[in-house]
Structure 1
Amino acid sequence: MLTKIIDHYKSLESSYSLTRNVGSASLVTAKDNSSGVDSWFYFKESFSRNLFDYVVETTQLSINGPLRFVDPFAGSGTSLVSALRAAGEGGSLHQPDGTGNFVMGLEVNPVMVEVCRAKTVCILHPEHVLGELDEMRNVVVRQFEAGPGDEVRVPGATLNEERYYSADAARDLVFLGALIGALPDSGGRSVLRVALASAVGATGKLRKDGRALRYVKSKRVAEPLSSFLSFTESMIHDIKVLAAGERCGGEAMVVHGDARAAELRDGYQLSIFSPPYPNNIDYTEVYKVEAYALGFLSDEAELRQQRVRTLRSHPSSRAALSMDGLDEPVLRDSEKELLEVVVESIPSGRYWQQRTGMIVGYFRDMRLVFRRMFDAMAPGGVACFVVGNSTHGVLGEGGFVVAADVLLAHCAAEEGWEVEGIHVLRDLIRRGKSEFARESLVILRKKS
């Protein structure tokens, strides 16, 4: 069966131009995002700030007039910030009059929405944010030191587990989140929320490890208020650097929304994004403590609702199937040519239904995204996405690879996109070797 699925992937791959550029592996990691706003709230799954210029150079993209850019999976905002920089003074896509630049991001995770908003507003309006931050921070500190008028309710099982967070630390994080949330909606509030989100990781004995939060008994932890203030001070320094630098003109909008269903403006010229990979990682779970501390989730029921709203890249809920009115993950006739061999490769057993439902649901969801994006792009517009091919189980022992790059390229082509090429940027060695265990950049263009 492993030979059959590999032959299937090779057949699909033969339809596209394939370039191996594994010397550029850093483009699909966060290693280059270690300073300035790019470093705010470490997001392991982010791609490099340098990917934007790689795409512009590779596609020979030329923009006449203001830039219109969209990212349907905005994550921590790397592409949005890169687009604003590129359109700004000295950038690769700068126009003499950049006032019409428009950058749009969609993101379903509310914590990441706040990260994106903080970064983009500071890139565009650093002086304004600096003008309000000091007073906002001082208000929060004064109210925190005065103490809560009522008992603070700590939501979520994880924050209430004293192995992970002391009772005092959990209470202080939630209290700080409530105080910041009560501030006027502004760039300054977004910055303070991101500072607190960063403090969440520093004040508990958990670390993010792939698809889970791992308990680290020996981890040294910080006190919530001092950690929050330390991150705030570091971010203020970065904003001052922005204020002293070159200007980025235009508008940025970050929407808490679902890329499968969003109503987008049309006329976008460029999109660079990275959807969740079909690898069982549930980002609602990974970033739930930050969501609880910031007040975006109030109980386990809301956590489950948030999880169901995400792209079906993980089998955490049977609701992933019921979205299509299915009790079983049955392939439609139109899907069989692409996915039947993949589904047949899934080993029988207790996880068969979950895995099959995830894979069927994932590619249905991504077709919707490609359709929405195609309708929103201007003729000649370019859309590029980074995706990793995931290994499920151990190869040679019943495991299989989901070659998302070639499968998604095929889905995009069926939605009207021209696939200009697949650039393999990094080889992945996980639970056995396969030529399709890799991370790639897929380049699409809407024909003029």
Structure 2
Amino acid sequence: MALAGAVEAHYKQLEQAWRVSDRSDVYDRLVVPNGNSTDPFHRWFHLKEAFSSRLLGQVISDTGLKRRDSLRILDCFSGSGTTAVSASELAQDYAGGIHVEAIEHNPFLHLVSAAKSHACLADAETAERLRRASEEVIEAASRSSEKLRVPGLSTFSREKYFEPDDLRELVSLRDAVASLEPGLIKELALLAAAACVEPASRLRRDGRALRFSPNRNPRKPREEFQRRISMMVEDIKGSPFQNASSIIHQGDGRRPRDYVSSREFDLVIFSPPYPNNIDYTEVYKMEAWYLELFVDEGSFRQHRLATVRSHPSVKFAESYEYLTSDHSGDVEELLDPLLSAIPKDRYATGRKQIVRGYADDMLQVLRQSRSLVHDEGKLAFIVGNSVHGNGESSFVIAADLIMSRLAELAGWRVDEIKIARTLFRRGVASPFLRESIVVLSPNLAAGGNRSSNPTAADRHQPSRSTDQNNRSR
């Protein structure tokens, strides 16, 4: 049997242990940022890798948590804060409210999450203060005559990307915002300024990188800043949210126990970076450098080395915690067919690091999350499977199945793998090329909230309802 065929057979064997259902009729448009560009608060910064603002409500309904009087939710990979903002929108339906704690490693995305989620609970007076502060910022920026501190990232110094006058406006806006008093108003102004960077350039985000668009007409930074502030003021004034609270931690989502204050969450929900070669630190580097969250190449590289090992953009240390755990044999058994299928070419080392590193990272977050959820709680993760290589040398990393098995080792029971949508890649035909939502419950038979290795009898028995021919995409 060809190596790729052996991997497919391995995936099929794994999948038989769980209930797998095609839920694309419900989730197809929820695992992408559908609605986020127009919804209040969500629209302040576009994260193309986000899920929809409507996803949280659907997951809560499907898991039966909607019937509770209150909810405590943990998101280990906050991104642009979709979970926290969506929870604020839903909180009015709960007498005891919703409390969200979220973790984000990227310093710029942490700012996005924190500013948006905190602003959800602000009032009309805060909106008016923001409007007045923005006028002061624009005035100060327009009369600034000091020597400007251009961000250290070389991208900003290339005139084909940024017109000199536009770059001057951008930097003067940033410096004027920096003079504001610390607090929510400053957070919002920083977000508004950073959100102007891409529109004021001839660069655009496209998948894994920033692309040069020579025919693009850059927007004027001050006008764009004012437009985004007006959007924020409008949304804050119209906010009906109540009964909600949120804490956005800056830290490593793989180790939630280091940050959160609760050990009794009702729901853990997250969408980790997918194992698809995208380096989010690279994709959103302009905004972080613009705000001086990175000041030199050394700090930038150190940050990249501390991210989830979902990409080979940097050379990560060959260190895997699972090798010294009680589950080392089980993890090796899970990964060996995939590792054996990786072509022996110049990309082999990086691809093997992705497989091992990603599994190691996901086992950590699944194990730690189990200790933070009460026995009647749930965990739901959204993840996409990915293709690596080309032609006959291509293979699929089925993250949904790999993480499901790792979840069992971490003390969870797989309730259901919900296929949200089929992914299409030219020249690749695989039933495992998809994006899924996996719902877990604590496996009390396997030792409560401690990581364990369930026997075959403990695993969820098959109840398949997947119909490959009836998927909408």
Task: Identify the residue that residue 238 of structure 2 maps to in structure 1.
Answer: 241
Q: Return the offset for 1:324.
A: 4.3
Task: Identify the residue that residue 30 of structure 1 maps to in structure 2.
Answer: 33
Task: Identify the residue that residue 378 of structure 2 maps to in structure 1.
Answer: 382
Q: Deviations over 1:191-216 (max 9, x none)?
A: 22221222111100111111110100
- Specify whether residues 28 and 317 from structure 1 end up closer, same or farther in structure 2 by C-alpha distance, changes over 3 A only: same
Residues matched between the structures, number: 432
2-side partners of 1:307 and 1:174: how far apart? 25
Q: Return the offset for 1:443.
A: 0.3
Corresponding letter in the other structure for 2:442: K
1:54 and 2:58 are equivalent in the alignment:
yes
Q: Return the offset for 1:427.
A: 0.2
1:33-432 to 2 correspondences below 5 Å: 33-35=36-38, 36-62=40-66, 64-88=68-92, 91=93, 94-95=94-95, 97-98=96-97, 101-242=98-239, 245=240, 247-262=241-256, 263=258, 264=260, 265-318=262-315, 320-324=316-320, 333-394=329-390, 396-431=391-426, 432=428
1-side partners of 2:100 and 2:412: how far apart? 22
1:10 and 2:12 are equivalent in the alignment:
yes
DSSP 3-state at the match of 1:321 = coil
Corresponding letter in the other structure for 2:407: A
2-side partners of 1:17 and 1:202: how far apart? 45
1-side partners of 2:375 and 2:224: how far apart? 48
2-side partners of 1:334 and 1:168: how far apart? 59
- Contact 1:154/1:171, CA 8 A, preserved across alignment: no
| Contiguous gaps of at least 5 residues in structure 1 | none
Q: Deviations over 1:413-445 (max 9, x none)?
A: 100011101000100011312100000000011
Q: Deviations over 1:112-142 (max 9, x none)?
A: 1111112111211233531420232123122
1-side partners of 2:328 and 2:443: how far apart? 28
- Contact 1:152/1:171, CA 8 A, preserved across alignment: no
Q: Return the offset for 1:53.
A: 1.9
Q: Deviations over 1:248-297 (max 9, x none)?
A: 22321111110123422211111221000000000001000011112211
- Contact 1:124/1:249, CA 8 A, preserved across alignment: no
- Contact 1:33/1:48, CA 8 A, preserved across alignment: yes
Q: Return the offset for 1:30.
A: 0.7
DSSP 3-state at the match of 1:409 = helix
- Contact 2:74/2:101, CA 8 A, preserved across alignment: yes
Q: Deviations over 1:22-78 (max 9, x none)?
A: 223101111222321121211111111111121122111255443211100011111
DSSP 3-state at the match of 1:28 = coil
2-side partners of 1:334 and 1:413: how far apart? 11
Corresponding letter in the other structure for 2:398: A
1-side partners of 2:80 and 2:52: how far apart? 11
2-side partners of 1:439 and 1:69: how far apart? 22
2-side partners of 1:148 and 1:373: how far apart? 51
- Contact 2:33/2:49, CA 8 A, preserved across alignment: yes
1-side partners of 2:219 and 2:66: how far apart? 48
DSSP 3-state at the match of 1:343 = helix
Corresponding letter in the other structure for 1:27: L
2-side partners of 1:257 and 1:172: how far apart? 32
DSSP 3-state at the match of 1:176 = helix
1-side partners of 2:263 and 2:130: how far apart? 35
Task: Identify the residue that residue 439 of structure 2 maps to in structure 1.
Answer: 443
- Contact 2:277/2:312, CA 8 A, preserved across alignment: yes
DSSP 3-state at the match of 1:201 = coil
- Contact 2:203/2:211, CA 8 A, preserved across alignment: yes
Please report the TM-score for the alignment, with normalisation by the length of structure 1. Answer: 0.92
- Contact 2:31/2:55, CA 8 A, preserved across alignment: yes
Q: Return the offset for 1:146.
A: 2.1
1-side partners of 2:122 and 2:312: how far apart? 41
Q: Deviations over 1:61-112 (max 9, x none)?
A: 2554432111000111111111222222xx3xx11x43xx421110011111
Q: Return the offset for 1:300.
A: 2.2
Please report the TM-score for the alignment, with normalisation by the length of structure 2. Answer: 0.87
1-side partners of 2:252 and 2:408: how far apart? 22
- Contact 1:178/1:294, CA 8 A, preserved across alignment: no
- Specify whether residues 277 and 232 from structure 1 end up closer, same or farther in structure 2 by C-alpha distance, changes over 3 A only: same
Q: Deviations over 1:357-385 (max 9, x none)?
A: 12111110111111111111111111111
1-side partners of 2:123 and 2:443: how far apart? 38
- Specify whether residues 153 and 57 from structure 1 end up closer, same or farther in structure 2 by C-alpha distance, changes over 3 A only: closer
2-side partners of 1:370 and 1:181: how far apart? 39
Q: Return the offset for 1:404.
A: 0.3
- Contact 1:383/1:444, CA 8 A, preserved across alignment: yes
- Contact 1:416/1:446, CA 8 A, preserved across alignment: yes
1-side partners of 2:178 and 2:308: how far apart? 27
2-side partners of 1:125 and 1:249: how far apart? 12
Q: Return the offset for 1:226.
A: 1.4
Quote the RMSD (CA, aligned, Å): 1.9
Corresponding letter in the other structure for 1:381: G
Corresponding letter in the other structure for 1:436: F
Corresponding letter in the other structure for 2:359: F
